[in-house]
Structure 1
Amino acid sequence: MGTTVFERHPAAASSIASMLEGSRLSPFWTDDAPGPARPSLAGSHRADLVIVGGGYSGLWTAVQAKERQPGLDVVLLEARRIGWAASGRNGGFCEASLTHGRENGESRWPDEIDQLDRLGMENLDAIEATVARYGMDVDWQRTGALSVAVEPHQVEWLEGPGGLDAEATRALVNSPTYLAGHLSPDDTALVHPGKLARELARVAEDLGVRIFEGSPVTAVEDGPAVRTRDGIVRAGKVALATNVFPSLLRRNRLMTVPVYDYVLMTEPLTSAQLAEIGWEGRQGVSDMANQFHYYRLTADDRLLFGGYDAIYHAGGRVRASYQDRPESYEKLASHLLTTFPQLDGIRATHRWAGAIDTSTRFCAFFGTARGGDVAYSLGFTGLGVGATRFGAAVMLDLLAGDETERTRLRMVRERPLPFPPEPVASLGINATRWSLDRADHREGRRNLLLRGLDAVGLGFDS
C-alpha cells in the first residue's frame, strides 16, 4: 500500500510532545463560555410539552415551540448541564446540508435532493436570522467552507464550479499539503459551540421555558409522563432529543452507535503566524480523505484541529474514560504540523473528545411513538450544529399532527436500517473503519466490503 502525506512528512516526536504538554483534557468551548447553574426537577409538575435533552436539538425545539405558540407551557430536562455533551464538543461548523453532503443525499433520495438542499439553506438562513433577532453572542461568521485535496487522487474530486488549483488554494490558506481545493462561499457558518448552547438556553428562558439541569430521565410513561430520579412531569406531548445516549424508546436502541471524535485547540496564533498561513477569509477547512480532518480559526485566532480517528468501543457505551486517548491526540498533533509546518512550536491548550450519534444513513431520522404523543429526532452523525434546528421543527410538526413540506419528505418518513447487535456491530464497524483507512492508502480504491455497503445503501464516502 501507499502512504499518506501525513506519513510521508510526520512531525518530530519532540514537536508533538511539546505541543501536547500541559494541555487540558476538557472542551475549550464550555470552559470558555460557562452557563449559569439551574435547579434539578423535584416533585410533580405539569406541562404542555416536555423536552428531554439540553443540547442543540432540545434547545432548538424549546425556542421554536415558544415562537410558534407563546402561551405553551414548556419544560426542558437535562441530565447534566446545558450543552455539556456533543453540543459543547464539536468543531463549530454550522452547515446547510441536512444529508451529510449532496452525494450522500442524492444516493438515497434523488427525487428530493434539490428540495433538501433548498430546505437546508433556508434552515441555515433561519439560524442566522435567529442569532440576529435575539442578539445572541455566539461568534457567528458566515465564512463558507474550503475542501482541500492532499493526495493526487483527490484532485479530480474537486474539479468543476468552485474548483481551485494548488496555487489558488494556497493563496486562501497556505499549506504545503494542498494540491487543489473547492470553495463553497455560502453554505457554512462558524460559531462558538459553547456560546450557542448558552445563548439558546437564555433565549428559551426569556421566552418562558422552564429548564431543569441535573435531572436524568429514567422513563417515559403512558399519559404521557416523564419521570426523573426525583420528580415527574405529566405532559401533553414529549420531544426526545437525547441523540447519542441510549434511547428511551426500545425501537431506537439499535438505530445509532456512538463513535468518538478527537479534537485539539491551540493557543492564539500570533500576528506573525497568521501572516504565514494567510486564511484571511477564515473559512472552515476539511480534507477529502475517508479519515478526514476539519479545522478552523476561532474568534480569538486559536486553531481548532480535529477528526481523522473515529473510534467505536465495543458495547456501544458512552464513557468519560474514552475521551483520554493519547494516540489520537498525538496523531492529531503530528497531522496539524504536517499541514502547517510553519506553526512548529505552537502549544495546545485543550484536548477533548465527543461521541457522535451515528446512523446507518449518516444523517438524522425522525418519528413518533405512543400514539403520536412522543416525537424524536436523532442520528445526526456529526452534522447536528445546523441540522438540529431542522430536526426540532420536524418534531414539532409531528407532535402537532401537521402535514408540512418537511413531514411529506421521504427523508422524514423513512427510517434507516438498524445496526446489528453486539458482537456483530463491533466486527462490522471496525472492519469498515479498517477498509476506509485502506482506501485512503490505495488512491481511494474501495475494497469488496465497502463496495458491498455502497450497493445496499450503507456506504459513505466522506
Structure 2
Amino acid sequence: MDARPAAYWLEDPDRPAPEPALIGPQDADLVVVGGGYAGLWTALRAKERDPARDVVLVERGRSGDQASGRNGGFASESLTHGHANGMARWPEEMDTLDRLGAENLAAIGETVERHTIDCRWERTGELTVARAPHEVAELAALAGSMHAAGHNAVLLDETATRARVDSPAYRGAIFEPDATVMVEPARLAWGLRAACLRVGVRLHEGSPATAVERHGRAMRVLTPSGEVRTDRVALATNAFPSLLRRLRLMTVPVYDYALMTEPLDAAQRAAVGWSGREGVSDASNMFHYYRLTRDDRILWGGYDAVYHYGSRIRPRLEQSGPTHDLLARNFFRTFPQLEGLRFTHRWAGVIDTCTRFAAFYGTAYDGRVAYAQGFTGLGVAATRFAADVMLDLLDGADTERTRLRMVRERPVPFPPEPLRFAGVHLTRWSMGRADANGGRPNLWLRTLDRLGLGFDS
C-alpha cells in the first residue's frame, strides 16, 4: 500500500525535457503520428533509408510515456506473439517470419550499440514456467514443435527449472536462450528519440493529432495549434483511438498492471538464484511476467489484464487497488522465501490487443496513409519490423515483408458495445476457469479457437 503510484521506468532522472509543440503550418515529406516505439522507429528508419526525407513526428504527450515506457522490457524475436500463435495462423510462413524476427532483433541491438543507447540491452533468454501438470505436458508438446522448426528451446524438469530460478510453484519450463532480450523500456524509447533528433527528425511533443485529411493531392495532419502538409502519413497511435474510423473496432485498449520491488539484498538473491537473469513468464492463460532490473529489483506484472467499458482510457485507471493487491499476493505465492520484501512502485500501461494477437498493417487514402496496430504484449521488438512494413507500404514497394500473408491479412474486428465488453469479460473468465480446470477450455473458448479469435495481453 505504500508503493508509489507511478511507473518506475519513467521516474528516471535521465528522462529528457520535452520538445516544443507544433505551432502554425509546416510542410514535410512524411508525418509520423505517435511517439512510442512504433512511431520512433518509423521516423528513424525513414531517415536511415532516405536521409534527404523531411520527417516530422507529432506526439500527444511526451515520447515513450505510454506503453513504450511502462512495459516489462521483454524484447522478443517473435513477430507473431509466440511460436504457437504463428503456427496456428501462418504455418507456411513461419520459417520466413522466424528469420525476419531474428534479423529484426539483431538490428535493434546494432542500433542500440551504434547510437550508444544506455538501456541495459541484455541477451538473457527467457523461461516459460509451468505451475500445473497440464502445463508441463503442454510445454513438452510446444518444445517438440519448436525443435522441429529449428528453435533453440530446452525443456527443463522441475529440478533444472528451480536451479535457474527457485520457486516452489515451478514444475518445469522451456528455456529459450536466444529469443529474448531484456531492456529498460523507457531508456530505449528515449534513446530512439535522441537518435531521431540527431538525424534531423523534427519532433513536436504536446501536439495531439486531431485529424488527418486530404489536402489537394497531398495530406494534412492537424493539431490544436498547427498543421503539417505532407505527402505521406504513418499512424502509430496503437492503443489510443485511431484517426481512421475504419480501425476503431479492430483493437481494444487493455490495462496491464505491474509492481516493482525494492532491491534484493545478497541473501534474497541467493534465496531465488536467478544467476542467468532470464526473463520469466508463466505458461498459463492468466500469466505473470517478471524480470530483474540492473539494481536487482523484481518487476512483477501481468495476470489481470483489464478492459473498461467503451474502450475507456483515463489516467486514473492506471491505479487499481484490487489488481495490485492480487499481483502482490501472487508474487509471494511464487516466492514465499521473499516474504517481507516491499514494493516501491505500482502502475499500469494501456496496450492495444487485436483478435489475432499479432500486429496488423494496412493503408488508406490511396496508399498515402499507412498504419500498424494490435501488437498486444510482444511489441517491444516487433515495432521496428512494423516501421519497415509501413515505410514499404507508403513507398509502394514490393518487398519480402509486404508479400507476407501475415502483413496482407486483417484480423476480425471486435464487436461494438455492449457485446464487446461482455465478450471480453466472458473470455477472461473462461481463461481463468481453464487454468483451474487442468487446461480444459469451455465451449466459449473452443468456439473462439475454431474461429481463430481471442483476447490476450
TM-score per shorter chain, which class? over 0.9
* 1:461–1:447 CA distance, 2 compared to 1 (3 A): farther
* Aligned residue in 2 for 1:77: 58
C-alpha contact (below 8 Å) 2:75/2:183 kept by paired residues: yes
1:9-63: per-residue Cα shift (whole Å, max 9, x none)? Answer: xxxxxxxxxxxx3211111011124122210000010011100000000000011
User: Identity of aligned pairs, percent?
Assistant: 60
Tell me, yes or no, if structure 1 residue 46 matches structure 2 residue 27: yes
C-alpha contact (below 8 Å) 1:54/1:82 kept by paired residues: yes
C-alpha contact (below 8 Å) 2:357/2:456 kept by paired residues: no
Q: C-alpha distance in 2, partners of 1:44/1:153?
A: 60
1:410-454: per-residue Cα shift (whole Å, max 9, x none)? Answer: 000011111100001011111111100110110100000000000
Q: C-alpha distance in 2, partners of 1:128/1:201?
A: 16
Q: C-alpha distance in 1, partners of 2:425/2:219?
A: 39
* Aligned residue in 2 for 1:15: none
* Aligned residue in 2 for 1:260: 255
Give the CA deviation at 1:300.
Answer: 1.2
Q: C-alpha distance in 2, partners of 1:216/1:356?
A: 18
* Aligned residue in 2 for 1:213: 205
Give the CA deviation at 1:461.
Answer: 8.2
1:250-284: per-residue Cα shift (whole Å, max 9, x none)? Answer: 11011000111110001111111111111010000
The residue correspondences of 1:119-268 to structure 2 (distance < 5 A) are 119-159=100-140, 160=143, 162-222=154-214, 223-268=218-263
* 1:460–1:262 CA distance, 2 compared to 1 (3 A): closer
* Aligned residue in 2 for 1:358: 353
Give me the TM-score of the superposition, normalised by structure 2: 0.95
Tell me, yes or no, if structure 1 residue 443 matches structure 2 residue 438: yes
* Aligned residue in 2 for 1:86: 67
Name the aligned partner's letter for residue 216 of structure 1: P
Pick from 445, 448, 454: which aligns with 1:453?
448
> Secondary structure of 1:24's partner?
coil
* Aligned residue in 1 for 2:147: none
C-alpha contact (below 8 Å) 1:79/1:214 kept by paired residues: yes
Tell me, yes or no, if structure 1 residue 406 matches structure 2 residue 401: yes
Give the CA deviation at 1:85.
Answer: 0.6
Give the CA deviation at 1:158.
Answer: 2.1
* Aligned residue in 2 for 1:292: 287
* Aligned residue in 2 for 1:419: 414
Tell me, yes or no, if structure 1 residue 59 matches structure 2 residue 51: no
Name the aligned partner's letter for residue 153 of structure 1: H
* Aligned residue in 1 for 2:2: 22
Give the CA deviation at 1:459.
Answer: 3.8
Question: Higher mean Cα deviation, 242-251 or 318-327?
Answer: 318-327
The residue correspondences of 1:263-274 to structure 2 (distance < 5 A) are 263-274=258-269
Name the aligned partner's letter for residue 32 of structure 2: I
The answer for unaligned runs of 5 or more in structure 2 is 144-152
C-alpha contact (below 8 Å) 2:30/2:234 kept by paired residues: yes
Q: C-alpha distance in 1, partners of 2:456/2:258?
A: 21
Q: C-alpha distance in 1, partners of 2:53/2:17?
A: 24
1:311-344: per-residue Cα shift (whole Å, max 9, x none)? Answer: 1111011111211110110111111111111111
* Aligned residue in 1 for 2:11: 31
> Secondary structure of 2:346's partner?
strand
> Secondary structure of 1:262's partner?
strand
C-alpha contact (below 8 Å) 2:427/2:455 kept by paired residues: no
* Aligned residue in 1 for 2:148: none
C-alpha contact (below 8 Å) 1:104/1:460 kept by paired residues: no
C-alpha contact (below 8 Å) 1:138/1:193 kept by paired residues: yes
> Secondary structure of 1:221's partner?
strand
C-alpha contact (below 8 Å) 2:129/2:283 kept by paired residues: yes
Number of paired residues? 442
Name the aligned partner's letter for residue 387 of structure 2: A
Tell me, yes or no, if structure 1 residue 96 matches structure 2 residue 77: yes
Question: Higher mean Cα deviation, 77-86 or 107-116?
Answer: 107-116
C-alpha contact (below 8 Å) 2:219/2:231 kept by paired residues: yes
1:123-171: per-residue Cα shift (whole Å, max 9, x none)? Answer: 1111111111111111110110001111121111222451001000000
Question: Higher mean Cα deviation, 369-378 or 24-33?
Answer: 24-33
C-alpha contact (below 8 Å) 1:98/1:387 kept by paired residues: yes
C-alpha RMSD of the superposition: 1.1
Q: C-alpha distance in 2, partners of 1:88/1:134?
A: 19
Give the CA deviation at 1:116.
Answer: 0.8
* 1:352–1:397 CA distance, 2 compared to 1 (3 A): same
Q: C-alpha distance in 1, partners of 2:202/2:294?
A: 31
C-alpha contact (below 8 Å) 1:454/1:460 kept by paired residues: no
Q: C-alpha distance in 1, partners of 2:18/2:40?
A: 16
C-alpha contact (below 8 Å) 2:354/2:455 kept by paired residues: no
The answer for unaligned runs of 5 or more in structure 1 is 1-20
Name the aligned partner's letter for residue 157 of structure 2: D
Name the aligned partner's letter for residue 443 of structure 1: G
> Secondary structure of 2:264's partner?
coil
* 1:75–1:327 CA distance, 2 compared to 1 (3 A): same
Give the CA deviation at 1:460.
Answer: 6.6
The residue correspondences of 1:365-384 to structure 2 (distance < 5 A) are 365-384=360-379
> Secondary structure of 1:233's partner?
strand
C-alpha contact (below 8 Å) 1:138/1:191 kept by paired residues: yes
The residue correspondences of 1:325-344 to structure 2 (distance < 5 A) are 325-344=320-339
Name the aligned partner's letter for residue 323 of structure 1: E
Q: C-alpha distance in 1, partners of 2:323/2:133?
A: 25
Name the aligned partner's letter for residue 61 of structure 1: T
Name the aligned partner's letter for residue 405 of structure 1: E
